[in-house]
Amino acid sequence: MNLKETNVREIIKSAWRQGIIVPGFNIPYLPMMEPVVKALCDTGTFGLVMVARLEWIKFEAGGLSQVAKEFARWSKPDFVRLHLDHVPVIDEDNLWVDTTPIFQEAIRRGYESLMVDGSRLRLEENIQAVRPVVKRAHTAGIPVEAELGAVMGHESGSMPSYEELYASGKGFTDPEETRRFVAETGCDWLSVAIGNIHGAIAAGRKDLKKIEARLNLERLDQIHQAAGIPLVLHGGSGIQVEDVREAMKLGIAKINIGTEIRQSYEVTLKQTNSLLKAQQAVYERTCWVIDDFLGLAGMHGKVAGTDEPVRD
């Protein structure tokens, strides 16, 4: 399989079938784009560069157009593609979002996969919100990721402790609902909640070290059997590495990394006032995530269906 000419849907499906995970890196600041793309190429890894709505609302990504233009400067389609991450129907401030123009623009700007997030809705409403997005994107040949359950962490208000959240199973994806959701929406990938949490974005909390989360692997196995499609792990920064490695065997084919590299950028920029040093910090941390945390360096060839490691 020539990754340069292959639809992202097929690339993720190939990874899923082989028990490999594709990393997706969020870009809340445009200067992070170059070092992330460079890290993927230098380590011989296929991955996604991603931007979520909150990253141009609450950070400095600029918007869909600015991200697409910056991506085009460094694009290496054999190693990296552009993904539109969380576009919520109800956002982290509990406000309704008009998602249609966002998706229309993303398709027009060349984003190769999309995520619609109806996780704050009831099941029926979530299905109704996702279905037309899937239809529109599929017409353009673009795969769609959705979320069932609710990966916590981005909310503006206070949250229960992590231990309380995990013990209660609040927001965890339900396997039986999964079966219906996938069948009725036609989504290509499904983001699941199994103990993973997003890094905080609220003022006063976004700089804190992220909680070391763990995953309910038994629940994940049940979800995988019910879904029958690639699964996605949001909030990948800080999850126990043993759980991530096991999750790859249980249907997780994409993992989102944001906090790990965002904080490296912010801290270094604040300490040194040097953009070049902040970019170098992002490069080094991205390489660490790819190689040491996920063990993916040199896996480009396996995703492509060959045994040869490939580096740019």
Give the active site residues: 85
- CB burial of 109-148 (b: ≥16 within 10 Å; e: otherwise) equals bebbbbbbbbbbbeeeebbebbbebbebbeeeebbbbbbb
Find, among 252, 217, 246, 216, the residue nearest to 231 by Cα: 252
- Taken as a whole, the chain contains a residue count of 312
- CB burial of 67-97 (b: ≥16 within 10 Å; e: otherwise) equals bbebbeeebeebbbbbbbbbbbbbbbeeeee
CB 111 within 8 A of CB 140: no
Question: What is the spatial distance between Cα 79 and Cα 300, in angstroms, rounded to a whole number?
Answer: 8
Type of residue at 238 = G
Bridge partners of residue 96, in order along the sequence: 90
Question: What is the spatial distance between Cα 12 and Cα 143, in angstroms, rounded to a whole number?
Answer: 10
- On the 0-12 / 13-18 / 19+ scale of CB atoms within 10 A, 301 is middle
Helix 175-185 / helix 217-227 crossing angle, nearest 10 deg: 30
Q: Is the dihedral of CA 57, 191, 38, 281 positive or negative?
A: positive
Contacts of 126 (CB under 8 A, 6+ apart): 89, 118, 119, 146, 148, 181
> Could you give the C-alpha distances from 252 to 192, 294, 312, in angstroms and in order?
9, 12, 26
